[in-house]
Structure 1
Amino acid sequence: MVLPFVGGFMTAAVLAYAVKKFKKLKRRTRVLGVIPARYASTRFPGKPLIMIAGKPMIQRTYEQAIKAKNLDKIVVATDDERIKKVCESVGANVVMTASEIPNGTERCNAAQLALPEKYDIVVNIQGDEPLIEPEIIDEVVQALKDTPDAVYSTPVTLCKKDEVKLLGRVKCITDKDGYAIYFSRGMIPHNKKGEVDPNHPYLLHLGLQCYDSEFLKVYGDLPATPLQLQEDLEQLKCLENGYKIKTITVDHASHGVDEPKDVASIEAIMKKHGWD
């Protein structure tokens, strides 16, 4: 067992979690789905409310998420009244969270702490994935239920060969049992030629993240780690502290909305498949 340290000393919260977690692997049953939605994005302000084929993106994401069967409850966690108003107009439960929360993962934790009910699993459903398949949500939840030694599960899919070197596409490599070895914005695995191998199945990491709820409570207390800082990828903090991440490979043709130009490609996919 590898235990995480903070500046050479283990925090009380992290120690308590580690002892509890590894002393007895618990059965996880109750599941909370959270869609974090922040208005003041640096790269794309107001992104949750961008219109996609006539509906705000946050609405489309919510409408996909509520089709999942493995969620006991789903909420939108936001810091903005405009987003709250749109979500409540379509029947979504909304939890207001602080604007200064730095990322979606910690916003999910704030949401679970604000609710009176307790959950074993918290699913971070990215608000900029309007075409996320509910079946993938269910599969990721089931993966964490079935893998008690992991604290985190997440989906990967085959990466298009022309996107392997794109820094905006996060790649993943796993061991033979599907546990994540590493995530990178660069090409992984990297070969001696430094060129994309047309015969290798590169894996693209999808934004859906599924956490053990107790681990999520202490995740924010873990300090940033060297690889996390180099890659600007939160999930590396888990791996660098010795925690396991279980991946599942799914068939998913779309990616999220990172910038305004992505809206057109999302709408094209919707039109192709006859989505309303």
Structure 2
Amino acid sequence: MSVLIAIPARYASSRYPGKPLVPLRGADGVSRTLVQRSWEAAMAVKGADRVVVATDDDRIRDEALGFGAEVVMTSSDCRNGTERCAEAHAVLGGGFDIVVNLQGDAPLTPHWFVEDLVAGLRADPASEVATPVLRCDGRALNGFLDDRRAGRVGGTTAVFGHDRQALYFSKEVIPYTTRRYGDEEPTPVFHHVGVYAYRPAALSAYPGWEPGALETLEGLEQLRFLERGRRILCVEVEAKGRQFWELNNPEDVPRIEAMMAEMGMA
């Protein structure tokens, strides 16, 4: 099965304009942009046949070409990363069996998250979309709760059934809990990792559906699949000692840089 990894990157983020071009300093003191670090994460994935940056912005295009990425220019009409991935796949002529959306705000995504995700979708022919979930330890959950108390949108959480099919995703912390956990203590909350693997038929259908009420309220693109009755497989992944965080707000930059320093990531 051939695999395309697309990294959707737009400049006009409502919460953080210009986010793909934000520099992140590694443990070696060298700064590289968010889009470059996301591309480097994608290039480390085993089994990917092609990796592209999908954007509608010339500044992001020039930055990506500068560090050696392949770029696919897409329309400014794309409403989210899934629509941009669908357009990129079409521009490339289609033909891939699985399209991975490695969102450009997750530079700490380990390669095995994506590899496990693709393997999970291959093993479950009934699912049209798959996405990774990571059980929060106390450190991560307490960070989510602190963000919400401060009025910030932090990570997204997921709940799913015994069959691992998604029930819901939210920017609130679900299931409900207010307990403080120890840093290394496992919790009942799963962090939704912002990566998706799609079968081409589901991906190509997606832009033709209007966003529903839940997607609009939460601002979460994957809810469009659930609102249309499509199955999303939640693939549990393991951190293996790696910290994971997404860059959603300017306040996340020092947090991610601190994590990179602690893990020795250049």
Aligned CA-pair RMSD: 1.8
Q: Answer yes or no: is the 8 Å Cα contact 1:164–1:202 preserved in 2.
A: no
Q: Answer yes or no: is the 8 Å Cα contact 2:135–2:188 preserved in 1.
A: yes
Indicate the residue corresponding to 1:150 in structure 2: 127
Q: Which moved more, 1:155-164 or 1:50-59?
A: 155-164
Indicate the residue corresponding to 2:225 in structure 1: 238
Structure 1 residue corresponding to 2:262, chosen from 264, 272, 276: 272
Question: Relative to structure 1, is the Cα distance of residues 258 and 89 closer, same or farther in structure 2, using a 3 angstrom cutoff?
Answer: same
1:50 equivalent to 2:22? Answer yes
> Quick one: distance in 2 between partners of 1:133 and 1:202?
20
Q: Answer yes or no: is the 8 Å Cα contact 1:164–1:171 preserved in 2.
A: no
Unpaired runs of 5+ residues, structure 2, are 26-30
Structure 2 residue corresponding to 1:206, chosen from 172, 193, 197: 193
Q: Give the structure with the higher percent strand.
A: 2
1:58-96 Cα shifts (integer Å, max 9, x gaps): 111101111101211110001112211221122211001
Indicate the residue corresponding to 2:142 in structure 1: 162
> Quick one: distance in 2 between partners of 1:224 and 1:78?
21
Structure 2 residue corresponding to 1:180, chosen from 150, 153, 166: 166
- Residue 201 of structure 1: SS of its match in structure 2? strand
Counterpart of 1:183, as a letter, is F
Shift of 1:236: 1.9
Q: Answer yes or no: is the 8 Å Cα contact 2:135–2:187 preserved in 1.
A: no
1:144-167 Cα shifts (integer Å, max 9, x gaps): 111110011001112333245434
Unpaired runs of 5+ residues, structure 1, are 1-28
- Residue 44 of structure 1: SS of its match in structure 2? coil
> Quick one: distance in 1 between partners of 2:216 and 2:60?
30
Question: Relative to structure 1, is the Cα distance of residues 216 and 56 closer, same or farther in structure 2, using a 3 angstrom cutoff?
Answer: same
Shift of 1:112: 0.5
**How many pairs were matched up?**
245
> Quick one: distance in 1 between partners of 2:141 and 2:247?
20
- Residue 88 of structure 1: SS of its match in structure 2? helix
- Residue 208 of structure 2: SS of its match in structure 1? coil
1:33 equivalent to 2:5? Answer yes
Shift of 1:246: 0.7
Question: Relative to structure 1, is the Cα distance of residues 48 and 221 closer, same or farther in structure 2, using a 3 angstrom cutoff?
Answer: same
Question: Relative to structure 1, is the Cα distance of residues 164 and 274 closer, same or farther in structure 2, using a 3 angstrom cutoff?
Answer: closer
Indicate the residue corresponding to 2:175 in structure 1: 189
Q: Highest Rg: 1 or 2?
A: 1
1:125-173 Cα shifts (integer Å, max 9, x gaps): 0111111111111111111111110011001112333245434322111
Question: Relative to structure 1, is the Cα distance of residues 77 and 224 closer, same or farther in structure 2, using a 3 angstrom cutoff?
Answer: same
